[in-house]
Amino acid sequence: MIAFGPVPSRRLGKSLGVNNIPDKVCTYACVYCQIGRTLRMEIERRAFYDPKLIFREVSEKVNEALERGEKIDYITFVPDGEPTLDANLGREIDLLRRLGIKLATLTNASLIWREDVREDLLKLDFVSLKVDAVSEALWRKIDRPHKSLSLERILEGMLEFRKEFGGKLVTETMLIDNVDYGDEFERIAEFLKELKPDTAYIAVPTRPPAEPWVRPAREEVINRAFQAFSKALGEDRVEYLIGYEGNAFAFTGNVEEDLLSITAVHPMREDAVREFLRKANADWSIIEKLIRENKLIELEYEGKKFYMRRLKSRETR
């Protein structure tokens, strides 16, 4: 399922997702990834879906949502992998422009050193870049990049992109426990000062991660990062992404289909699932049925239950 949602987003309000990369083709194998482990590490761009198919599926989902009175703030490329691996990304953006809704992507920025990737991203209204580390050792430990990628080229690519991009640019730094950050926050802050994002987000894992040992960073570590980033950018431009985004998941017609398309890229907390079922006038037996049919799995993280579509990337845990 290519289009899903709208889902509540802590950055984008109500976001209709575009899953333009299949499970799970990525340039990184981040230890904290909510999709699970990377199945295919790739860095060469290629076509995955016909842009017309993407446009058709997204248009249908937009119409269904609007007919039900659902608000859509952004259409967001947020797939089961790295969105910029899609060689058709620019064409898809051009087609989706016709819908008159702002367009966004959340990218790990690993291919932003490529001119064609920057050109595609320049067409968007909102771009979120991952900046988990600016030093090689930590970058390799947390993001586990494809061996041929260069951190230096990626950071340079981000700065190059910033010079031209007229939309809203944000960064996201994911903090996890059991990592010695040393003076990394000051180093990241120095880079952010040069990059000048509109907002620098500090995040912690809020959903079950790829590696079972991953836990959210402790409060004092999060605070250290906040202080360092605020000193470089000003407090008003640094925000936490550590809360729960809420339960306002949209029902657009078919309960099972909606649940499976949302949970393919966005694990849902139990209370969110219950709220979704209430909206759809459905009961918990649907969840039990999907679990029985091996389409949905139940996971636990930080004392809470989550439900996620069964993906190959999850089975490798």
Q: Which two tokens stand for residue 180?
A: 């010695």
Q: Tell me, yes or no, whether 312 lies in a domain.
A: no
Q: Which two tokens stand for residue 100?
A: 């008159």
| Number of structural domains the chain divides into | 1
> Does residue 73 contact residue 13 with C-beta atoms inside 8 Å?
yes
Mapped to the 3 state alphabet, what secondary structure does 174-231 carry? ECECCCCCCCHHHHHHHHHHHHCCCEEEEECCCCCCCCCCCCECCHHHHHHHHHHHHH
Q: Tell me, yes or no, whether 120 lies in a domain.
A: yes
CATH number at residue 172: 3.20.20.70
Please give the pLDDT value at position 110. 98
pLDDT of residue 236 exceeding 80: yes
- For the chain, what percent of residues have pLDDT higher than 70? 92
Residues 167-220: pLDDT tens digits?
999 999 999 998 999 999 999 999 999 999 999 999 888 788 889 899 988 878
Q: Tell me, yes or no, whether 301 lies in a domain.
A: no
Cross-strand pairs, 17? 4, 76
Q: Tell me, yes or no, whether 203 lies in a domain.
A: yes
Q: Tell me, yes or no, whether 86 lies in a domain.
A: yes
Q: What is the pTM (predicted TM-score) of this model?
A: 0.80
Query: What rounded mean pLDDT belongs to the chain?
Result: 89
